[in-house]
Amino acid sequence: MLWPAKLLTWAPRGSFYPVLVQRVGRRSLLITFEHVDDPAFRQTLVVDEETGIAKRFTGFGHAVILTSIESLDAWDPDKEPVFAPLIGPIPTDY
């Protein structure tokens, strides 16, 4: 998600291509992707304009949502990452 252009979901390697970019909130861009064979089948990506980091990626039956970002200085490669389950609605901060 740090490099949205590298995701394999959209054309030319994948099945989706961008059709719409719009501002949402104070500092985010919402990018909508359309399936090559079915224009009603779409995926979305929210990118923070200040950091350039993709914060939300939503497709059919799945979503990836960043809830926090930490500096690599705090990262310990020997420690297993911990993913806390999301409970309730995810607060939006666009």
pLDDT, tens only, 12-67: 667 888 899 999 999 999 999 998 889 999 999 999 999 888 889 888 888 888 87
Whether the CB-CB separation of 44 and 54 falls below 8 Å is answered with no
The beta-strand segments (E) located in 5-69 are 16-24, 28-35, 42-48, 54-59, 62-65
Residue 74 has a pLDDT of 75
Cα(first)–Cα(last) distance of the chain, in Å? 17
pTM of the model: 0.72
CB burial class (10 A; 0-12, 13-18, 19+) of residue 18? middle
Residue 85 has a pLDDT of 76
More confident residue, 38 or 8: 38
